[in-house]
Structure 1
Amino acid sequence: MEEILKAIEEKDCKKVADLLYHRVDELGDEELKDVLEKAEKLALECGDFELYKLTVYYFHELLGVDKLSEFEKLVEEEDTFEIKFELADLYYLIGELEKSFDLHRSLLEEETARGNKENVAKVYYSMALIHEELQEYEKAIELMEKAKDIYKELGKEEEILRIDIHRAYVVFEAGETYEAKAMLAGLLPLAEDKKDLLVEIHLSFEEIFEEDENYEAALQECLYALVNARGSDYEDVAFGSLMDILWQLMLEDDFETVYLHMDMFARALPELSDFFEAVKAIALYKDGKIEGEEASKALEKVKDQRLLDLLEFLGEAEL
């Protein structure tokens, strides 16, 4: 919580948004209410409507506080593309898909008339995500292609790559697993100097392998993602994906797959070696390979409370 409050004090809206996105689950209700109130005030003061959207969303989803009407009133007062685009996304996030579609269509008409091609591309891509949510994959891909064509015209190579990565994932969701893998593989050399996009590619591979219950391959992709995400905004996302797999393996009593793979994580990420050694010890203990006392010694080496909480999450609070 202290890190978020410090970012708010420094008026670093982007950092506040990133920290909220990745750390919101760590806050109790009172802490969350305090942080969201301060973040909301900062967002309005700075005119950062993406951060404002995030605070309204968390108020709604986590605290049951409805601030939607306040957002809608602000949209009427501001009447800019930026704030209306964020409201359309908020509608999508809270499941008001028809309202989201209606506002997106209105924005598409307005921005097309104004000749704001980049905004048109953003709207097409955002609408594609709604169709993806509705499992209307062909329509989602069609709109992604429209956004991609505009970005090609504008010379936005990174945006094109980002769309192609997501498009491959939608192809996977539509049931074309091998085509999706081929598409992602073809993007790897194009993203080799863009670590954030490499992380997205490897996490897409990870989800594909996890869906196939090929956990060894999924763990390998998590490793690639974590190495490329080190020190970036994507690090928590990659780490969360790894934790999801470890939790699934623990649920399935597949302890061997866990403890056989932790050494590679410990060597690739030495700053987290104590954590991965502790995960290995938990799996060995659960599999009856070591005594509880030996596992406890491994856990005692981990000092970071957040990591200790994750270890407890994996089921070894009794040690």
Structure 2
Amino acid sequence: MEEILKAIEEKDCKKVATLLYHRVDGLGDEELKEVLEKTEKLALECNDFELYKLTVYYFHELLGVDKLSEFEKMAEESDTFEVKFELADLYYLIGELEKSLEMYRALLEEETEKGNRENIAKIYYAMALIHEELQEYEKALELMEKAEQTYKELGKEDEALRVAIHRAYVTFESGETYEAKAMLAGFLPRVLDRDDLLVEIHLSFEEIFEEDENYDAALQECLYALIRAKGTDYEDVAFTSLSDVLWQLFLEDEFETVYLHMDMFARALPELADFFEAVKALALYKDGKVEAEEVKKAIEKVKDPRLLDLLEVLGEAEL
């Protein structure tokens, strides 16, 4: 909490947003309330509407405090693209998908009249994410292609590539698994110096292999993603993906798959070795290979409360 408060005091909005995203689950209600109130003031002072959106979202989702009407009033009064775009995204985050689409359509019309092509590309992509959420994959792919093409025409290759990688994932969601694999493979040589994009590609492959119940390959992709994500904003995302795969394996009683792979993770990520050893011990116990005392000893070495919570969840997994 102290690190977040320091970032707020320094008025480092980007750092505040990053810390909130990664640390919000570890704050108690009173701590969270204090942090969000201070963050809200900072966001308004700096006109950082993305940070303000994040604050309103956490108030809504974690504390049950509704500040949506305040955001809506601000958007109506300021009437700028930035405010309205973030409000539309907030609607998406809280599940008001049709309301979000309606606002994006109005924004698209406004920005088309103004000829603001970069804003148009942002709107295309944002709308595509909603159609993806609605499982309207054909429409999502159509909008992603428009966003990608617009970014290319503007010379914004990084943005175009990021959209293209997600388009490959949506291609998989639409049922075109082998085409999606081919698309993702084609991007790999282009992003070898980009850890963030490599993480996205490896996690997309992980989802594909998990869907095929090829858990050996899925775990391998999780490992690649974790290594590339180390020390970046994507670290939590990569770890969450691994946690989901482990949860699925425990649910399906695939204990051998778990304990055979944990040494691989422990050696690649020695700072988390105690956690992976505990997961291994837990899987061995579930498979009848070791006694409960061995699991207890392994878990006692793990100090991070979040990792202990995950071990507890895995231990309770059952069909």
TM-score when normalising by structure 2: 0.94
User: 1:48 aligned to 2:48?
Assistant: yes
The 1-side partners of 2:2 and 2:276 are apart by: 26
Is contact 1:128-1:144 (8 Å) kept?
yes
2:200 maps to 1:217: no
Per the alignment, residue 165 of structure 2 pairs with 165
Provide the residue aligned with 1:243 in structure 2.
243
Alpha-carbon distance in 2 for matches of 1:179, 1:273: 36
Query: Match for residue 305 of structure 2?
Result: 305
Give how far 1:220 is off: 0.6
Is the 8 Å Cα contact of residues 198 and 225 (structure 1) preserved in structure 2? Answer: yes
1:121 deviates by 0.6
Counterparts of 1:208-287 in structure 2 under 5 Å? 208-287=208-287
Structure 2 counterparts to residues 146-165 of structure 1, below 5 A: 146-165=146-165
How far, CA to CA, are the matches of 2:315 and 2:209 in structure 1?
24
For 2:7, the equivalent position in structure 1 comes to 7
Task: Flag structure 1 segments of 5+ consecutive residues without an equivalent.
Answer: none
Secondary structure at 2:84's aligned position in 1?
helix
Matched residue SS, 1:188: helix
Deviation at 1:66, TM superposition (A): 1.4
Which structure 2 residues correspond to residues 90-169 of structure 1 after superposition, within 5 A? 90-169=90-169
Equivalent-residue separation in structure 2 for 1:313 and 1:25 (angstroms): 16
CA RMSD of aligned residues (A): 1.7
Task: In structure 2, give the amino acid aligned to 1:105.
Answer: R
Whole-Å separation in 1 of the counterparts to 2:205 and 2:237: 14
Distance in structure 2 (CA, Å) of the matches to 1:311 and 1:38: 34
Paired position in structure 2 for 1:80: 80
Matches within 5 A, 1:187-206: 187-206=187-206
Give the match's secondary structure for 2:315: coil
Deviation track 1:169-204 (CA, whole Å, cap 9, x = no partner) reads: 111111111111111111111111111000000011
Cα deviation code 1:132-161 (max 9, x no counterpart): 122211111111111111111111111111
The code of the aligned residue for 1:182 comes to: A
State whether residues 22 and 237 of structure 1, in contact with CA within 8 Å, keep that contact through their aligned partners in structure 2: no
**Residue identity in the other structure for 1:6:** K
CA–CA distance in structure 1, aligned partners of residues 253 and 10 of structure 2: 46
Range with greater deviation from structure 2 (257-266 or 54-63): 54-63
Output the amino acid matched with 1:300: E
Structure 2 CA distance for aligned equivalents of residues 15 and 279 of structure 1: 32
Q: Which residue in 1 is equivalent to 2:19? A: 19
* Alignment deviations for residues 43-80 of structure 1 (CA, whole Å, 9 cap, x no partner): 11221111111111122222222111100111122221
| Identical-pair percentage | 83
How much has 1:85 moved relative to structure 2?
0.5
1:10–1:238 Cα change, 3 Å: same
Q: Is the 8 A contact 1:128 1:141 kept in 2?
A: yes
1:241-264 C-alpha deviation (Å, 9 max, x unpaired): 101111121122221111100111
In the alignment, structure 2 segments of 5+ residues that lack a partner are none
Of residues 59-68 and 257-266 in structure 1, the stretch that sits farther from structure 2 once superposed is: 59-68
Give, as a single letter, the amino acid of the residue that structure 2 aligns with 1:228: R
Shift of 1:120: 1.0
- In structure 2, relative to structure 1, the CA distance for the partners of 1:2 and 1:306 (3 Å cut) is farther
The one-letter amino acid of 2:139's match is K
